[in-house]
Structure 1
Amino acid sequence: MVLAIGDEEGAVETVPRMQTTAGRLARLGFADGARAERLLDELGPEAVGDVALLDSLVGAADPDLALTSLNRLAERDPSVLGALRSDPGLRDRLLGVFGVSAALGDHVVRHPEHRRLLEGEAAARRPSQEELRTDLLLAVGAEPDEPGPRARDASTETLSALRVAYRGRLLHLAARDVIGEASLAEVTAELSALAGAALEAGLAVARSEHPEAAGVRLAVIGMGKCGARELNYISDVDVIFVAEPGEDAGEGADETQAVRLATRLAQGMMRACSATTPEGALWEVDAALRPEGKAGPLVRTLASHQAYYRRWAKTWEFQALLKARPVAGDPGLGGRYVAAMNEMVWQAATREKFVEDVQAMRRRVEAHVRVEEAERQIKLGPGGLRDIEFAVQLLQLVHGRLDPMLRRRATLPALAALSRGGYVGRDDAKALAEAYSFLRQVEHLIQLHRLRRTHVVPEGEGDLRRLGRGLGMTSDPVGEFTTRWRRHAMEARRLHEKLFYRPLLQAVARLPESEDRLSTAAAQARLEALGYTDPAGALRHISALTSGVSRRAAIQRTLLPVMLGWFADAPDPDAGLLGFRQVSDKLGATAWYLRLLRDETAVAARLARLLGTSRYATGLLMHAPEAVAMLGSDTELEPRRPEALLSEARTVVGRHPHQAETAVAAVRALRRKELFRTAVADLDGIIDIERVGQTLSHLNDVTIQAALDAAIAKVEMERRTPLGTRFAVIAMGRLGGLECSYGSDADVMFVHEPLPEVPEKEATDAAHAVANELRRLLALPAPDPPLTVDPDLRPEGRQGPLVRTLASYAAYYGRWSSPWEAQALLRARFCAGDAGLGVALLHLADPLRYPPEGVSDAAVLQIRKLKARMEAERLPRGADPTLHTKLGRGGLSDVEWVAQLIQLRHAGRLPSLRTTRTLQALRAAVAEKLLDPADEAVLAEAWCFASRIRDAIVLVKGRAADSIPADVRERALIARALGYPPEGSEDFMNDYLRVTRRARTVVERVFYGD
């Protein structure tokens, strides 16, 4: 048996059904070729051989969805297949709709007679507004020609009939839309007309409920997109109600009674449209744009409206009135209302702080977008429809007072008028119009799928594929759609930021174009004189800060001129200005941020110095911008107590008991904030290098403990049993010595001790699982600086077990340990987990690291040889030994090995030497008369200087390095971060070489001598 299939070019192939049909269908565009084959078979042999039918299915946005709806319809109405063969227009329209809208497919299956709306020449004709009105009024049993027509009643049957008729018209429009028989402007205008017709029908239903209101005049004013004739497929319909006594009521008629009766009509109309029936609801009728919003009366007289807007209305309310248009009810009263409002709308720009109010309104709208949806929100998110609409409306309101040509309700006609009038450049207007049209088409396709009110681009590949194909993209619908969407959004955002503040800036500047160019050149010269290496780039940042959609305009007016000078005083002015722009992008719409910078000059000055000094701190701030708030005082920058940090970290972990990754991500966010606090305190000299090391080490302890809690919880959950063993983490290396730098790994050892009733194998497996999970959680990609857990200092190094029991440690150290391991244990310190177990391991290690009789002469010789070999072999190739802060001459390693050798020799009999910290060990050696005070001072100075340089390298460059850079500019930036003046780079180098040279002399005598 064979199946005839049209290929991508429309040709027909004959292929063996059992061999290739499903695959061929998949290649043609069906997501599930086998299912498509089955559904085609169910349609019958004539459908199977109908190449035109298959071509129309393949041309649909979602062929699988189209075929599914067609099968369901054919079950209800088998005649549809013959109709499709005889009417190509019906076939394209019906399958086109089925391919984008599952909801309209459901509707046609429920009401198969509605497919006839897509047949013949009438299917391509655009209905008039009166035709739509008549159709929907007849659906509810009202006579269209009667003044104030009344429906049959407000029964469920009547309301369902309204919805069926409405969706039939929606089907007719969507069919013309998806195959390109209607333009975007025609689609939105017809949707607006259809909404007006539905409101008219709803009002007729309300009149049938309230015959006592027959003489009252009620006008329904469309607002928003309905008023502007740019409605989308599924949207709330914004309205305002205005009422008057009937014409036959005579002069002095009771307005209060008229408003009361009109309110009943308005409420009845809203229910008629919004109520849920077996056929669903139409949409919500939203009257919240009325005077006083939801707190105000639903209906007012025209005089009451005028009084409110003259005295009480806010700026945004005049902006909303730009779109006002009579859409239902009494057209004469509606016309009078709009005429009266227009007089006030076009004078609104003269109000005090009008432009600032409009800008603030846009910021408030943007601030309420859900963070997780912001990048996919095509309406309210950055580069979305609201960006374009607000920019256009602000320009209209500012310039339309004097230029009546700008007084258009709809966005695209208004944008075209702005372009023609020279208020927007032609290229900018073209780009905005293209972005707006694209986003509106995407919005329509998203909403058509389920007939739901949404403006969020879906994430699923199938949904994105349907969107891309619905927009005519066939080769790579997902990739092409995503690329075009992002490009349009970025361009819309850029132009929004460019235009949204322009009326204000032009009004303030009042400069002709030639003078503006001169001032730009002068500004570049001024910036260059201040020390900016890229004055043109600096000007771009300044422009972005002054014309952005956040509160950057206010910052520019009050702070930016001063901050430019502060940036110039920092080591890297260009980086400072760039960082300030980035932080402002993050926090510009946050009220406290602007208030803090405006009211607390010290904060702004500290921020400028910080951003112009440290890429590391700037990077932290990018991902924790709220940390700006801690710059207000030195007290805020004091390191927090480890106990308080641990309590907060454990609380964070406790909020996610079954989500270890989420819990640790939150802990790392806390660590990120504390790293920023430490970096600022370090750069400002609030804490010295010893406290920096302690603070960073305690922070790492807290992070490891919190991650360990999460790891244990996850392992117990996965194993469905308690852990069965005690577990502890022992800090080693710089972490154990409380001497961590910003770029330090966490050197650790793991120990566990099975509970009495638990087999050792089971306990060991659990302990290994915890150790591995701890390392995995802390290694997950994240925006914070990494904390690498390194267990290589354990017995046997990488070749040894990751976790051992106490007994295993005791056996190893008792038999196999070497002098370097005893030396490494000098830094061993309990870090996290079971404190009792950790202390037990340290007690076990004490005889090894603090030998009662001191290390033997042979061991000392071995240690000295190891140190000499390390100096010769571990220094990176090409590294200058005089500039390597860790392994170079007089560097960290030199000083630390001196202290550790003294400890190995004497700590067994002198408890004061039993410390994991280098400087404390040197001080104790002086107190015990084992080291000359002058030598201790030289060694301590070298150790502190090298440690500060290592930290400064990370702070300035944003990444760790052990050598002082050879690049002159980088070296100068590090010198500035260390407190040297702008011309002090050479002094910095001379100081370091002098200090380390003196330290090396001491090392040669104390470490290598007798």
Structure 2
Amino acid sequence: MRRKEQWDEIPVSMPLLIKLFGASWYFTRYLFFRGQKGAELVDHALEENFSSDRFIARLAPAVQEPDPEQGFERLRLLKNELMLQILLVHLEGRLDQEQTERHLTMLADVALEMALRISGLHEATGCRLAVLGMGRMAGYEMTFGSDLDLIFLFEAEMDEIVAATSRKVRLLLRHLAAASSAGLLYEVDMRLRPHGTAGALLTSNRAFLEYHREEKEIWERQMMTRCRCVYDERHLGQDTLTQVQSYIYTDYDAEYLRREIAAMRQRVLNEKGSPRNKFDIKRGKGGIMDIDFLTHYLQLKHGAEVVGLRTCSTRQALRVLAEARLLTSDVVGTLLQAYAFLKTVESCVRLFDMKPISTIPADHRENAAPAMATGFGRDTEAFMENYLATTRTVRGEFEIIFAEP
């Protein structure tokens, strides 16, 4: 039985509530904002069935609002309900890191589709639209606080329709990133579109194909290994990506490929990988990016022959590398374990206020939350020892794979 309090009702599951308060200030605020509904969300989280169909059913009421402003506010409210419940099940230990990331990405896919509908972009007259999700979204590897890396493709004959669609997309992007008392939807990054920030907001499918048909820098080929159609009208996106894949997974000069990817990784490391008095979980030596880059390299090197490597998921690519005996099962097992650990740490530090943070303090005493999240309890020193050992191991494997022949 719940006990009445000033803020309304207290959930029955007090231990789970305490875990939530310790893990996320963002969702603590959200829970108190929801009052009695918040208590219900906590109590029923462990019974929830997380699937695309369920997410659609839960978010659909936002599309029915008569005004787009109201629709987006309702969508923020409902999306954060579901994200809160995913977090609660994760905190209870019923979802591992990989499962949690998959559910968060599925939620992002559905929330984006609902946002497109609210914006009037769904099946608009005279225009076919597709949205490509890049990076973590492409690989079903989003964590709490992940943004949406998007590219918008279109096919339309009339300039007036393109202009109207562009206006609607700008409105969509503004609403996606807007915060309110109900929280926010997602930060959006459009820099991966052709020509980056200098490029058009919308790219025609023909221009997209032509752009990638031309000889590109290796980093752009890397980027395209993490590209998935997350919204598609009449197969525009999927047909386009099918053609693009033949440009991505082709025959490369192996030595040139190795040098270019190693040089790009070193550039990132030099510019962003060594913050003062901190460790960078993502960009630092032995961090997440080391695993990503070595995987990109082997995908591009062998993807023309090994079709299974044409996946957007780092984890799946590593598993295929083991199956194809391009890496030993021991090495892949080590990398997968390290990836899960590092992504758990990253998710933990981002979760507190839903910000894209990727660093932890170098002083082990300041790492109570990630120590708890990774199973070390209050032993922050043991956590830091494991973190450093993990990154040393990852960096060692990276250097072996990228060693000069």
Asked if these proteins are the same fold (TM beyond 0.5), I'd say: yes
**Correspondence 1:273 to 2:176:** yes
Query: Alignment partner for residue 376 of structure 1, among 262, 279, 296?
Result: 279
2:395 alignment counterpart: 493
CA shift in 2, pair 1:396/1:110, >3 Å: same
**Correspondence 1:484 to 2:386:** yes
Cα distance in structure 2, aligned partners of 1:265 and 1:91? 44
1:93 alignment counterpart: 16
2:174 partner amino acid: R
Cα distance in structure 2, aligned partners of 1:268 and 1:329? 19
**Post-superposition shift, 1:130?**
2.7
2:138 alignment counterpart: 227
Secondary structure of the residue aligned to 2:182 is: coil
**Correspondence 1:75 to 2:6:** yes
CA shift in 2, pair 1:329/1:399, >3 Å: closer
2:56 alignment counterpart: 133
1:237 alignment counterpart: 148
Mapped contact 1:375–1:381 kept (Cα < 8 A) = no
Provide TM-score, normalisation by structure 2: 0.91
Cα distance in structure 2, aligned partners of 1:174 and 1:105? 12
Cα distance in structure 1, aligned partners of 2:251 and 2:167? 33
**CA-to-aligned-CA distance 1:941-972 (integer Å, 9 cap, x gap):** xxxxxxxxxxxxxxxxxxxxxxxxxxxxxxxx
1:347 alignment counterpart: 250
Mapped contact 2:153–2:202 kept (Cα < 8 A) = yes
**Correspondence 1:106 to 2:29:** yes
Identity of aligned residues (%): 26
1:321 alignment counterpart: 224
Provide TM-score, normalisation by structure 1: 0.38
Cα distance in structure 2, aligned partners of 1:213 and 1:221? 18
Cα distance in structure 2, aligned partners of 1:374 and 1:400? 39
Secondary structure of the residue aligned to 1:300 is: strand
Cα distance in structure 2, aligned partners of 1:278 and 1:329? 31
Cα distance in structure 2, aligned partners of 1:258 and 1:496? 48
Cα distance in structure 1, aligned partners of 2:6 and 2:390? 43
1:891 alignment counterpart: none
Secondary structure of the residue aligned to 1:119 is: helix
2:106 alignment counterpart: 193
**Post-superposition shift, 1:107?**
0.7
**Post-superposition shift, 1:275?**
1.9
CA shift in 2, pair 1:124/1:99, >3 Å: farther
Secondary structure of the residue aligned to 2:117 is: helix
CA shift in 2, pair 1:280/1:230, >3 Å: same
CA shift in 2, pair 1:373/1:339, >3 Å: farther
- Report how many aligned residue pairs link the two structures: 404
Secondary structure of the residue aligned to 1:241 is: strand
**Correspondence 1:153 to 2:67:** yes
CA shift in 2, pair 1:375/1:123, >3 Å: same
**Post-superposition shift, 1:360?**
2.2
2:46 partner amino acid: A
Cα distance in structure 2, aligned partners of 1:331 and 1:193? 21
1:400 alignment counterpart: 303
2:355 alignment counterpart: 452
Query: Alignment partner for residue 95 of structure 2, among 182, 186, 202?
Result: 182
Cα distance in structure 1, aligned partners of 2:402 and 2:165? 40
Mapped contact 2:154–2:203 kept (Cα < 8 A) = yes
Secondary structure of the residue aligned to 2:246 is: helix
**Correspondence 1:417 to 2:323:** no
Secondary structure of the residue aligned to 2:176 is: helix
Secondary structure of the residue aligned to 1:276 is: coil
Mapped contact 2:308–2:320 kept (Cα < 8 A) = yes
Mapped contact 1:349–1:401 kept (Cα < 8 A) = no
CA shift in 2, pair 1:399/1:74, >3 Å: farther
2:114 partner amino acid: A
Secondary structure of the residue aligned to 1:217 is: strand
2:264 alignment counterpart: 361
Aligned ranges 1:615-694 → 2 under 5 Å: none
**Correspondence 1:116 to 2:16:** no
Cα distance in structure 1, aligned partners of 2:39 and 2:252? 50
Cα distance in structure 1, aligned partners of 2:123 and 2:239? 25
Q: Larger deviation: 465-474 or 169-178? A: 465-474
**Post-superposition shift, 1:161?**
2.1
Cα distance in structure 2, aligned partners of 1:237 and 1:126? 24
**CA-to-aligned-CA distance 1:40-85 (integer Å, 9 cap, x gap):** xxxxxx99xxxxxxxxxxxxxxxxxxxxxxx9x94312x42xx51x
Q: Which has the higher contact order (CA 8 A, sep 6+)?
A: 2
CA shift in 2, pair 1:280/1:312, >3 Å: farther
Cα distance in structure 2, aligned partners of 1:366 and 1:102? 31
Mapped contact 1:92–1:179 kept (Cα < 8 A) = no
1:76 partner amino acid: W
CA shift in 2, pair 1:180/1:487, >3 Å: same
Secondary structure of the residue aligned to 1:453 is: coil
Cα distance in structure 1, aligned partners of 2:254 and 2:243? 18
Cα distance in structure 2, aligned partners of 1:470 and 1:163? 27
Cα distance in structure 2, aligned partners of 1:367 and 1:307? 33
Structure 1 portions without partners, runs of 5+: 1-45, 48-70, 85-89, 143-150, 246-252, 506-1010
Secondary structure of the residue aligned to 1:243 is: strand
Cα distance in structure 2, aligned partners of 1:94 and 1:329? 39
Secondary structure of the residue aligned to 2:105 is: helix
Q: Which has the higher helix share?
A: 1
1:486 partner amino acid: L
**Post-superposition shift, 1:420?**
1.7
CA shift in 2, pair 1:390/1:165, >3 Å: same
**Post-superposition shift, 1:464?**
1.3
1:916 alignment counterpart: none
* Structure 1 vs Structure 2 CA RMSD: 2.6
**Post-superposition shift, 1:390?**
0.3
- After the TM superposition, which parts of structure 1 deviate over 4 Å for at least 4 consecutive aligned residues? 210-213, 459-463
Say which one has the larger Rg.
1
**CA-to-aligned-CA distance 1:654-703 (integer Å, 9 cap, x gap):** xxxxxxxxxxxxxxxxxxxxxxxxxxxxxxxxxxxxxxxxxxxxxxxxxx
Structure 2 portions without partners, runs of 5+: none
**Post-superposition shift, 1:345?**
1.3
**CA-to-aligned-CA distance 1:116-169 (integer Å, 9 cap, x gap):** 22334x634442113213422322x34xxxxxxxx63332x4333222111111
Cα distance in structure 1, aligned partners of 2:151 and 2:179? 22
**Post-superposition shift, 1:463?**
4.5
Mapped contact 2:80–2:183 kept (Cα < 8 A) = no
CA shift in 2, pair 1:174/1:460, >3 Å: farther
CA shift in 2, pair 1:404/1:490, >3 Å: same
Aligned ranges 1:905-924 → 2 under 5 Å: none
CA shift in 2, pair 1:405/1:312, >3 Å: closer
Cα distance in structure 1, aligned partners of 2:16 and 2:126? 45
Secondary structure of the residue aligned to 1:132 is: helix
1:218 partner amino acid: L
**Post-superposition shift, 1:212?**
11
Mapped contact 2:350–2:357 kept (Cα < 8 A) = yes
Mapped contact 2:127–2:155 kept (Cα < 8 A) = yes
1:202 alignment counterpart: 115
Mapped contact 2:106–2:140 kept (Cα < 8 A) = yes
